[in-house]
A and B are shown apart, each in its own frame.
Chain A
Amino acid sequence: MISRRTALLGAAVAALVAASPALAADDLKLPRQAVELVAPPFVHPHEQATKEGPKIIEFKLPIREKEIVIDEAGTKFQAMTFNGSMPGPLMVVHEGDYVEVTLINPETNTMPHNIDFHAATGGLGGGALTHVNPGEEVVLRWKATRTGTFVYHCAPEGMIPWHVVSGMHGTVMVLPRDGLKTREGKPLRYDRIYYIGENDLYVPKDENGKYKSYETPGEAFADTTEVMRKLIPTHVVFNGKVGALTGKNAMTAKVGETVMIVHSQANRDSRPHLIGGHGDYVWETGKFTNPPEKDLETWFIRGGSAGAALYTFRQPGIYAYVNHNLIEAVELGATAHFKVEGEWNNDLMKQVKPPGPIPPSKSSAAEPTVQTR
């Protein structure tokens, strides 16, 4: 691990470099657009299809190491985050745009960090060119050549998995310039978009079985690695904590609205399922040049990828959106809720007879009865 001293030295060197004539390469004669990122499950405003030509889209991505609480029991966790959220924000651009990220590692942090974009080509996804110590920042530009939802994550040498399961991952969505389409080429649009990042967390326990807490990420490293190596997470959650997307934080929609759900898992396989709903159009692997699958019940998100699903709500009520390994959903925390307002449709579902006693059967009770009318 890099000591505080070397880190500061690094900062000094960085300061010198920054003082030299602006490297901000204006080799590209393209319009620029700065985008303000927002914390998941929300997504910054964006066009779904665009008539404009390619641009340089600028994102500012500060890294924040911070203590967070990950469950109702108040378990404390030394998180490392992009932009302060777990997962980091969803960045939306269009095919052919250039993504220009300013990665900032404030002096208040204790660790070196970098960023690897699965959507980018070469340089370990940018990881090789973005190594920043506390007190440094770096600017990376890459061209969005492929459409789809792609994970990004921190990938510092020697401790990649630990940084990822400490919270340093997010997603970039590269939309086709003319928008999403069905297999037949019919345009698809969404009224709302939510970004769900699934986290598998590995929290060490003391000899009494109580979760341990630590002052800094560094102090948690050795114990956490030991838990990680056993491959069984203590928590599997959406957006950083148990209940981050339930109750008052439940996602909302209205009957008739089409919702885009982007789901990432940077480390481990998952299988999202909307209880009481479906995936109308699902890009399971998240890549939009492949036609979407239709009418899915559950879709598979491979560890290290992000997928996208479109669903038009047809019935009001509460929908649970879970990792359909139900042990992970219920026991470990991977549950979100949608609260959907609108008018109930009795044609789609009706309780024909409420729960009540089983009427005495005319024939033998043990025999299944065949009803004839």
Chain B
Amino acid sequence: MLLVMKIKVAIAAAALASPVALTMAPVATTPSRSANSEISEIVTKPFQYRVAGDFSRDGRPAAAPLRSMQLGGNLTIMHHQVTVGEYSACADEGACPRIPQRAVMIDRPMVGVSWRDATAYAEWMTKKTGLLHRLPTDEEWVFAAGEKAADEAPPLVDPSDPAQAWIARYEAEANRARPLALDPQPIGTFGRNTHGLQDIGGNVWEWTNTCFLRFAFEAGGAARVVNTNCGVRVVQGAHRTYMTDFIRDPRTGGCAAGVPPANLGFRLVIENEKLPTVSRMVERVVATLVREK
């Protein structure tokens, strides 16, 4: 049953990629690597992944399942989050919206970006380099984050009492360590993980391409997707959360309890081949699904 939802994600990803793939003619005959970002190629291997989204069983909140999975191929991803300087180049060409920064330091991570802004930058990078640039999926992000990926164990509470789960979640959020500084810090401030990626889980959260899904566990234990909302995307960092795609400044208050991300930024995945066709994309993602346990 998980397979069903994976294909949905795959289709969503393919749909996103398609406008680029169909309209793009390769710009450079010898595609240069992302000129302005160091990248890592991470060799695929199995990893643990807690499925993103909202899970319920018999109409009550339930814990998301933890899966063992493996990506269909190696993952090429930026070492560091896209910087103010890098993003500005896109804005200078009119391909990305110009967004004022709290602290204007061109070598710090670009923050205050929505999923739409990040996607515009990825499309611009694709055009510039002739290599498909895109946001990672949540699975890819968790794989790349490695030991720095946060997996908050869901609280064990009486499922018949909605308030208990609610209070437990509130307390877990209240106990989260808050970043000491709100302004983006120099690249590397929050360390490097075993995959060479910098600042995973620092004070800049990262957009992913994964849509918000709602699942219901069926009697047999399989999870069925009951709702897909691609207006809300998974955001990753010190904790995983979900944000509406046009939000640039996460905040809390009013009815919303809990601690929002300090900043929204992003890093991109680069497809190693020249612009893959939609069918190749789908093949790749389906390969991912097949390898999944």
Contact = CB atoms under 8 A, between A and B. Distances in A.
Nearest to B59: A354
Contact of A344 (B162, B173, B262): B162
B182 A337 contact: no
* Size bracket of the B interface: 20 to 34
Interface in B151-179: 160-164, 166-167, 170-171, 173-175, 178
Contacts, number: 82
Interface string B246-266: 000001111111010010000
Contact of B253 (A329, A341, A344, A357): A329
Interface in B165-221: 166-167, 170-171, 173-175, 178, 181-182, 214, 216
B227 interface: yes
A329 B56 CA distance: 31
Given A316-B163, A329-B253, A357 B226 contact: yes
B167 A341 contact: yes
A158 interface: no
B54 to A, nearest CB: 8
A248 B254 contact: no
A218 to B, nearest CB: 28
Of listed B167, B214, B254, residue having the most chain A CB within 10 A: B254
Contact of B170 (A74, A318, A344, A353): A318
A215 to B, nearest CB: 21
B59 A351 contact: yes
A370 B150 CA distance: 48
Given A318-B170, A356-B214, A248 B162 contact: no
B102 interface: yes
Of listed B100, B162, B163, B173, residue having the most chain A CB within 10 A: B163
A315 B56 contact: no
A329 B183 CA distance: 23
B59 A353 contact: yes
A318 B227 contact: no
Contacts of B256: 330
A340 B162 CA distance: 13
A353 B56 CA distance: 11
Interface in A287-346: 315-318, 320, 322, 326, 329-331, 333, 335, 337, 339-344
Contacts of B174: 246-248, 250
A275 B259 contact: no
Contacts of A343: 161
Contacts of B59: 351, 353-354
A11 B250 CA distance: 50
Interface in B111-167: 160-164, 166-167
Contacts of A318: 166-167, 170, 257
Contact of A356 (B100, B160, B227): B227
A340 B226 CA distance: 32
A318 B258 CA distance: 11
A320 B257 contact: yes
B178 A72 contact: yes
Given A339-B170, A356-B226, A356-B227, A246 B257 contact: yes
A21 interface: no
Contact of A317 (B100, B104, B166): B166
B164 A316 contact: yes
Contacts of B164: 316, 344
What are the 5 tightest A-B residue pairs by CB atom distance, in nearest-first order? Answer: A247-B174, A316-B163, A330-B253, A317-B163, A330-B254
26 contacts: A72-B182, A73-B182, A248-B174, A248-B175, A316-B163, A316-B164, A317-B163, A322-B254, A326-B254, A330-B252, A330-B254, A330-B256, A331-B251, A333-B253, A335-B254, A337-B257, A339-B170, A339-B171, A343-B161, A344-B162, A351-B59, A353-B59, A354-B56, A355-B214, A356-B226, A357-B227
Interface of B: 56, 59-60, 100, 102, 104, 160-164, 166-167, 170-171, 173-175, 178, 181-182, 214, 216, 226-227, 251-257, 259, 262
Given A208-B104, A339-B171, 8 more contacts: A72-B182, A74-B182, A316-B167, A318-B166, A318-B257, A331-B253, A354-B56, A354-B216
Interface of A: 72-74, 208-210, 242, 246-248, 250, 275, 315-318, 320, 322, 326, 329-331, 333, 335, 337, 339-344, 351, 353-357
